[in-house]
Chains A and B, each alone.
Chain A
Amino acid sequence: MYRRWLWPSLSFPGVLWLIVLFVVPFYAVLAVSLGTVDPILFQPVPIWNPLEWNVGWLQEALQRLAPGGIWFDVGIRTIVYVALSLVLCLLIGYPVAYYTARHAGRWKGLILILIILPLWISYMMRMLAWVNLLQADGYINRFLMFTHVLSQPRDWLGGSSSTVIFALVYGYIPYLILPLFASLDRIERSHVEAARDLGASPWSAFRTVTLPLSKTGILGGAVLITLPMFGDYYTPNIVSMSPKTSMIGNQIDLYFHGGPQPTLGAALTIILAVFLTFLMAYYMWSIHRAQRDVGAVGAL
């Protein structure tokens, strides 16, 4: 009933916008990182023609990230922080999502709203809240001293890795719980009941039915929180302000805001983007496989 050109022309403004302000800018990062630097002004000189690209700065950045390079520690630290935060988020988030989907009963609506609520509270507000609590004379230190866990106030905000990981978990966990809940909520109760009727213990029914069926939610949530965590620089800056806890994102931030070498920062951005693309491809492949396996369970 509609003319054939209608749908492409409706898409046109949006696609054009994203090409001009998403695809072209990304190409600009490539052109800067594979360009040269003005020897006198130290300004980046982008090279727009791919045939003339200069890989020198990209090589420099890769060398710095390799073992023995000055960014090696930062790279490893970023991966460790993100991995630990992901594990902690899953350990806390899975039981919460599981309870909400399965056992919450008449409380389900309320719990769901309370779980969604933090998503609508500004990230900076939530970080500010913890900065207040973790001050030398803040509630956390006072509570720990009152209960005699600590004899004197601890400096939580002076560059401690555990504080940064704690802040990452606090900041990103709501984004994980929601997809987890969605996937757990979709599981048919009859599948679990069938397993129990066939003699499975509650634990083995969980392990062989619920857990595999929620795998897409686990992986989807993991994508949703690990990708932004790898690019995070503000969380470590807010709760630590120390180079001892700086991540890849802080390094990029440093090279643009205050550092003299945007070219190196652009090269690092490209490396991060390529790394994340591989990570996402791996997630997509795992989700695809998990969905195929779930299809097999459904066919039974």
Chain B
Amino acid sequence: MTTVAEQRPAAGFSTSARLRGWLRNPWGKPRFLVLITWAYILWSIVPVLIAVQFSFNETRSRTVWDSFSTRWYWGDPVDSVWHDPTLRHALVQTFKLAGADVLIAVPIGVLLALGLARWHGRGSAASNFIMLFPLVTPEIVMGVSLLLVFSELFTFIHTGTTAQILGHVTFSISFVVVIVRGRLFSIGRQYEEAAADLGASPFVALTRVLLPLLTPAIVAAAAVVFAISADDFVISQWLSRGGDTDTVPIRIYSATRAAPLPSVNAIATIMMVITLLIVTLGFLTWRAFTRGESKAGTAAEDFGTAFRL
């Protein structure tokens, strides 16, 4: 019988041998893959780091580096993020929308996830179908339909903050459902049943047993909703009435189309840092709560896959 052995160099070979191997066959299987993976990672992250660097530029240029300064954050008396009212309002509006979105979409989404996971009667399939649709609908279709419904049917709601919040909640609910339902399935029903066997009423089983077990998913969902709301451009733009209802992504968008200053890079950097902080907090909470439930290292994967489906 012939055995098919893989052509692998012996373990513990020296750096020079490795280098010679590289030169002899740079397209060998793992080497090519290592190269393309790290090249991809650099390509996806370095441009953003350069944009962050230019937010600290001393001059008005976003392409020629001069020296480090915080002029575009607060130093400049006219055009810095701190002093330019349009940029400051954009930051406030972005946080207003994201905060309201979290407060409304998370409770509704958690209830909907519980309901859809356990409800098997008439109407459950249709409800599930409606819940999945916003996840695959392009935002422009949602933007057009919300704009038209507010201008033709619900005419008592005008474009602006209220309309924007309603729109953000509409696309956020499904994300909460997906994250919380995934956690519900991995918990199973045994804890609630044990509580019921020990004499807990359904209300107590739900609020004292199931809800604490769902906490990591609820925290993660809140972090995700904050991030997608702060990142959203299309719905915010379609439902904005201009002026102080423009959010940070809208400011960045209109600035790149005009002649932007490094203050745009500065406001983008501020948003990025805050979003990453909140997402990291969400991830750490998730990991702290689910520690010991699964293998180490898979928490990151669960978290990552729970996020964007």
A contact set with B: CB distance below 8 Å? 1-4, 6-15, 17-19, 21-26, 28-29, 31-32, 44, 46, 92, 95-96, 98-100, 103-104, 108-109, 111-133, 135, 137-139, 170, 173-175, 178-179, 182, 185, 196-197, 199, 202, 220, 223-224, 227-228, 230-234, 237-238, 241, 249, 252-253, 256, 262, 265-266, 269, 272-273, 276, 280
In this complex, the member of B45, B149, B265, B268 whose beta carbon has the largest number of chain A beta carbons within 10 angstroms is B149
Partner of B45, one of A24, A118, A179, A262: A118
Closest to A136 in B: B63
Q: Are B4 and A199 in contact (CB under 8 A)?
A: yes
Chain B nearest CB from A16 CB (Å) reads 9
Checking B44, B108, B248 against A13 with a beta-carbon cut-off of 8 angstroms, the contacting residue is B108
**B196 A1 Cβ-Cβ under 8 A:** yes
How many A-B contacts at CB < 8 Å in the complex?
286
Residues of A within 8 A of B115 (CB): 7-12, 14
Residues in B lying within 8 Å of A, measured CB to CB: 2, 4, 6, 29-30, 32-34, 36-37, 40-41, 43-45, 47-48, 50-51, 54, 62-64, 108-109, 111-112, 114-116, 118-119, 121, 123-124, 127, 130-131, 133-134, 136-142, 144-149, 152-153, 166-167, 169-170, 173, 177, 192-193, 196, 202, 205-206, 227, 230-231, 233-234, 238, 248-249, 252-253, 255-257, 260, 264-265, 268-269, 271-272, 275-276, 279, 297, 300-301, 304-305, 307-309
Known: A4-B121, A25-B149, A252-B144. 19 other contacts (CB 8 A): A1-B202, A11-B111, A15-B112, A22-B130, A22-B145, A24-B149, A46-B148, A95-B37, A100-B37, A112-B300, A112-B301, A122-B271, A124-B233, A132-B50, A135-B63, A182-B305, A202-B6, A262-B148, A269-B145
B144 adjacent to A265 (CB under 8 Å): yes
Whether B62 pairs with A135 at a CB distance below 8 angstroms is yes
Q: How far is the CB of B223 from chain A (nearest CB, A)?
A: 9
Residues from chain B with a CB closer than 8 A to the CB of A104 are 37
Closest 4 CB pairs of A and B: A231-B138, A11-B115, A14-B112, A7-B119
- Some 13 contacts from A to B, beta carbons below 8 A apart, are A21-B149, A22-B133, A32-B152, A122-B268, A129-B50, A175-B308, A178-B307, A196-B4, A197-B4, A230-B138, A266-B148, A269-B145, A272-B138
- Asked if A95 and B36 sit within 8 Å, CB to CB, the answer is yes
